[in-house]
């Protein structure tokens, strides 16, 4: 993956934490280019996310091989039909490794429903229990499932000492307010730059900056003006600029605050 020319992407003084991407979706050559471009644009730490039984080991290997990469362990709702006692044991065991910083990507997706809703709920709840047992935060995916996400979190939130992030937040303001009140943070990405995403920008404006972390969800959701190209962590400065604008903050102040949020959630 070729990064955009340096002059098209700003470089700020404050280092940036990429809290959610999928490095294992790249081949090895593209991976090194992606990591080099991220470093060149001030991205100091990258969290690559587990989504299925097939990549639990892969993301740990990536984190072990690259000094700037950390990872998670978890099963995405799309893959919830693969959840089993054996997979649960693998997730829990992986959580004991030093480069694993969260349980995720877990949650509910009623937009695609690649797995049935009962299977999604079971995998979600059991992984919340693993996070509580392992004292790790969670990385939650929720799409078109506000009511059930809220109900499940209401049952489990108090057992999660380190809470977590609702990543790529596109849900209602009501769900945002509930999650914030429960102590979760919200992850925002290139969607905030999309023309038709005023609903997401409204949630950004309503979210305290102390409860925001930055992400790309690369290789998806590439920000304007690079839509149509594969996303990459090097584009995070563009997302940060948009979010700082929405919050009415100077960019370096915004980056300092969100970096603190990311460290507090994942690395302390």
Q: Do 139 and 165 contact (CB within 8 A), yes or no?
A: yes
What's the pLDDT band for 90 if we cut at 50, 70, 90?
Answer: very high
Q: What are phi and psi of 226, to 5 degrees?
A: -110, 15
Q: Do 120 and 108 contact (CB within 8 A), yes or no?
A: yes
Q: Is the pLDDT of residue 16 over 90?
A: yes
Q: Is the pLDDT of residue 79 over 50?
A: yes
Task: Note the pLDDT of residue 27.
Answer: 80
What do you get for the CA distance between the two ends of the chain, in Å?
32
CATH of 16-29+40-267 given 3.40.50.1820, 3.40.50.10710, 3.20.20.140, 3.20.20.110: 3.20.20.140
Average pLDDT over residues 217-225: 97
State whether residue 173 is helix, strand or coil: helix
Domains of the chain, by residue range, sit at 16-29+40-267
Q: Is the pLDDT of residue 47 over 90?
A: yes
Cis peptide before 203 (omega within 30 of 0): no
Computed over every residue of the chain, the mean pLDDT equals 96
Q: Which residue bears the tokens 């090895």?
A: 28
Strand order in the sheet with 138-143: 16-21, 43-48, 69-73, 100-109, 138-143, 164-166, 185-188, 212-214
Average pLDDT over residues 210-228: 97
Distance CA 52, CA 55 (A): 6
With 0.85 as the threshold, say if the pTM is over it: yes
Task: Note the pLDDT of residue 3.
Answer: 46
Distance CA 213, CA 140 (A): 13
C-alpha distances in angstroms, 159 versus 111, 129, 254? 28, 8, 30
Report CA 24 to chain centroid distance, whole Å. 15
Handedness of CA 161, 68, 186, 249 (dihedral sign): positive
Spatial CA neighbour of 267 closest among 86, 15, 10: 15
pLDDT tens digits, one per residue of 150-189: 999 999 999 999 999 999 999 999 999 999 999 999 999 9
State whether residue 8 is helix, strand or coil: helix
Average pLDDT over residues 4-29: 87
Task: Note the pLDDT of residue 29.
Answer: 77
Task: Note the pLDDT of residue 6.
Answer: 58
pLDDT tens digits, one per residue of 93-136: 999 999 999 999 999 999 999 999 999 999 999 999 999 999 99
Distance CA 159, CA 242 (A): 34
Average pLDDT over residues 18-31: 92
Phi/psi region, residue 3 (left: phi>0; alpha: psi -120 to 50; beta: rest), is beta
Q: Is the pLDDT of residue 2 over 90?
A: no
Percent of the chain with pLDDT over 90: 96
Q: Do 190 and 231 contact (CB within 8 A), yes or no?
A: yes
């Amino acid at each position: 993956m070729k990064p955009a020319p340096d002059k098209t992407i700003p470089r700020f003084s404050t280092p940036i934490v990429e809290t959610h991407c999928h490095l294992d979706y790249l081949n090895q050559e593209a991976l090194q280019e992606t990591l080099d471009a991220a470093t060149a644009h001030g991205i100091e730490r990258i969290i690559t996310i587990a989504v299925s039984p097939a990549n639990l080991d892969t993301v740990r290997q990536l984190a072990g091989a690259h000094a700037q990469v950390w990872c998670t362990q978890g099963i995405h709702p799309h893959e919830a039909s693969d959840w089993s006692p054996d997979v649960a044991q693998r997730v829990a065991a992986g959580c004991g490794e030093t480069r694993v910083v969260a349980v995720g990507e877990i949650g509910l997706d009623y937009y695609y429903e690649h797995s049935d809703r009962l299977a999604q709920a079971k995998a979600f709840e059991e992984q919340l229990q693993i996070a509580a047992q392992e004292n790790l935060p969670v990385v939650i995916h929720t799409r078109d499932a506000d009511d059930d996400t809220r109900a499940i979190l209401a049952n489990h939130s108090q057992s999660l000492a380190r809470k977590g992030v609702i990543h790529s937040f596109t849900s209602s303001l009501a769900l945002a307010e509930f999650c914030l009140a429960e102590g979760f943070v919200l992850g925002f990405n290139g969607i905030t730059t999309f023309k038709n995403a005023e609903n997401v920008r409204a949630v950004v404006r309503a979210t305290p900056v102390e409860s925001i972390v930055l992400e790309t969800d690369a290789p998806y959701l590439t920000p304007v003006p690079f839509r149509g190209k594969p996303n990459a962590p090097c584009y995070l400065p563009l997302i940060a600029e948009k979010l700082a604008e929405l919050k009415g903050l100077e960019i370096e102040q915004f980056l300092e605050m969100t970096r603190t949020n990311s460290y507090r959630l994942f690395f302390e």
